[in-house]
Structure 1
Amino acid sequence: MKRPIGVIDSGVGGLTVAHEIMRQIPKERLIYLGDTLRCPYGPRTKEEVNKFTWELVEFLLEKNIKMLVVACNTATAFTLEELQSKLNIPVIGVIQPGARAAINFTQNNHIGVIGTEGTIRSNAYNKALQSINEDIQVSALACPLFVPMVEQGTLKGEVAERVIKESLIPLNNNKKIDTLILGCTHYPLLKDTIQRVVGEHITIVSSSEETARETSIILDVHDLLNQGNPVYDHQFYTTGDVGIFTKIAQGIFNSSIDNLQAVRIEKAVI
């Protein structure tokens, strides 16, 4: 089944998920669409996120995708159930895989979650974690400055460290947390600095690896895996600045990416 996997995100953060999917199931072809023009989604209303997400989805459906990965925590929190109910292809998000990974790591059932305002406001991680283990204690914190910083390409250095340190003060005051979920796919790009700020005693969990693993399993279950030769003509689309997108993508993939285009997303009819 050589049809592509579609991956959407509010910006460049979902590239961390795309990269992991490409690593784990290298025969598959990906089409990635990042809505960098309207990023971040975190401060937006549920209605706005729903509208924007459907516009991204409609664009990818025109590309005949066989599966959709919602590589944005805010979009996952607000739209996943609706997407799953309305689309006739498999759809997964990044919250449930991240929650499962964190539960595997925690030793004392105290888990921290950092994410956008929308993701934290939705309580999606609290629900996901406690649906698996009701004894889990969750400390959630919105970090609204992180996504704009990543989208501008500020991934390390004095500015990044200062912003992260100040943002995580409430979390660092909680001495019980032993596991921290990066509840936004942009945040793994700041992982090294976040680790320094919170300390090595805290295990940091990104949903990227777990989401890629789940993608592989679901494709297999639905008999959608590409059994032929690898397909390497991945396509990348951004609604915003190609230069910044390219710079960040090169940092994630350790090489330049081909087939990158800026696109305008037309209004979708839901």
Structure 2
Amino acid sequence: MINANALPIGVFDSGVGGLTVLRALRERLPQEQFIYLGDTARLPYGTKSSDSVLRYSIQAAESLVNQGIKYLVIACNTASSVAVEALRERFAPMPVIGVIEPGSIAGCAASKSGHIAVLATEGTVRGGAYQRAITRLEPKAQVMAQACSLFVALAEEGWTDGAIAEAIAHRYVDELFRNDPSIDTLLLGCTHFPVLASALRAVIGPSITIVDSAETTARAVHAELVDRGLLRDAGPALRPILQATDSPERFARVGSRFLGESFDASQVELVDLGLTPPRIRTPPP
């Protein structure tokens, strides 16, 4: 009989950005086993149609569920905005969480003025998920959202601080603050963006609160595992199982910066979401 508590937690993203969420999860839940799937063959999700993102999200989630997991984390803002409810319905009663709701809760808690700026991908901004989530929590909140597509490329190239990163940050955020000087909170609505926090801080100054949804998502996962009695028994920290749908070499090279530790291509499993058969992993003892 399989011990549900010992099953891994599945995490998926369109690429490597969600490794910032995995990093926060591992810090919060060091005894848990994680399987991370980056759909690198089809990134970025942020420029795709909602129908495509939903289809990709279902395929990625099914791949993880077929491996035997106890919890599904959507570590992609675009996929969270499009697919979280569909995946909850499809895989109930297994818990499913996206990054938008925890990030919105943290943004509302951080803002004293109720004026919040969201930096995200084109797809997340276009879908309005953060705007809806924040105003659902705080109906009087004023939310401005800015698509920052170049931030993804900067993050993946490692150009996360210095003159180039700061110049592009100025182009994205200066107009936001000109249009609404009362903004006091900057919510990073893409998992790539936390690695650009130092460049953003240099541009916006010390008085604006920067909120990253990774840590708040990790706290929410921990709380739900406790509520459901699904925490794995304490034990030695386990290396995450890393999977990608294309180019393990690039995934390792770029992803090491997001995960905060080095790994190489030999530690990345190449999977095909259309062809990989279901497989149940033996949970760790």
1:177-188 alignment, distance < 5 Å: 177-188=183-194
Deviation at 1:242, TM superposition (A): 2.7
Q: Which deviations, in whole Å up to 9, do the C-alpha atoms of 1:92-150 show, x marking residues without a partner?
A: 00011011111111111111111011111111111111111111111111112222332
* Residue 117 of structure 2 is aligned to residue 109 of structure 1: no
- Number of residue-to-residue matches in the alignment: 268
8 Å contact 2:88–2:96 — kept in the other structure?
yes
Cα pair distance change 1:152/1:252, threshold 3 Å: closer
8 Å contact 1:8–1:14 — kept in the other structure?
yes
Match of 1:132 in 2: 137
Measured in 2, the distance between the counterparts of 1:228 and 1:194 equals 38
Measured in 2, the distance between the counterparts of 1:252 and 1:198 equals 23
* Residue 197 of structure 2 is aligned to residue 191 of structure 1: yes
1:106-255 alignment, distance < 5 Å: 106-173=111-178, 174-230=180-236, 232-255=238-261
Given residue 224 of structure 1, which amino acid in structure 2 is its aligned partner?
L
Given residue 65 of structure 1, which amino acid in structure 2 is its aligned partner?
I
Measured in 2, the distance between the counterparts of 1:159 and 1:33 equals 30
Q: Which deviations, in whole Å up to 9, do the C-alpha atoms of 1:32-87 show, x marking residues without a partner?
A: 01112221111110001011111111211121011000010100000001111110
Match of 1:15 in 2: 19
Given residue 141 of structure 2, which amino acid in structure 1 is its aligned partner?
I
Measured in 2, the distance between the counterparts of 1:170 and 1:98 equals 23
Given candidates 268, 279, 282, the residue that maps to 1:260 is 268
Q: Secondary structure at the match of 1:113?
A: strand
* Residue 62 of structure 2 is aligned to residue 58 of structure 1: yes
8 Å contact 1:115–1:141 — kept in the other structure?
yes
Name the % identity.
Answer: 39
8 Å contact 1:55–1:267 — kept in the other structure?
no
Measured in 1, the distance between the counterparts of 2:234 and 2:106 equals 31
Q: Secondary structure at the match of 1:257?
A: coil
Over the aligned positions, Cα root-mean-square deviation in angstroms equals: 1.7
Cα pair distance change 1:154/1:237, threshold 3 Å: farther
In terms of mean alpha carbon deviation, does 233-242 or 122-131 score higher?
233-242
Deviation at 1:233, TM superposition (A): 3.5
Measured in 2, the distance between the counterparts of 1:251 and 1:165 equals 23
Match of 2:75 in 1: 71
Normalised to the residue count of structure 1, the TM-score between the two structures is: 0.93
Unaligned stretches of 5+ residues in structure 1: none
Match of 2:6 in 1: 2
Measured in 2, the distance between the counterparts of 1:118 and 1:154 equals 23
Unaligned stretches of 5+ residues in structure 2: 277-285
Measured in 2, the distance between the counterparts of 1:39 and 1:147 equals 11
Measured in 2, the distance between the counterparts of 1:197 and 1:263 equals 40
Q: Secondary structure at the match of 1:13?
A: coil
Match of 2:282 in 1: none
Q: Secondary structure at the match of 2:149?
A: coil
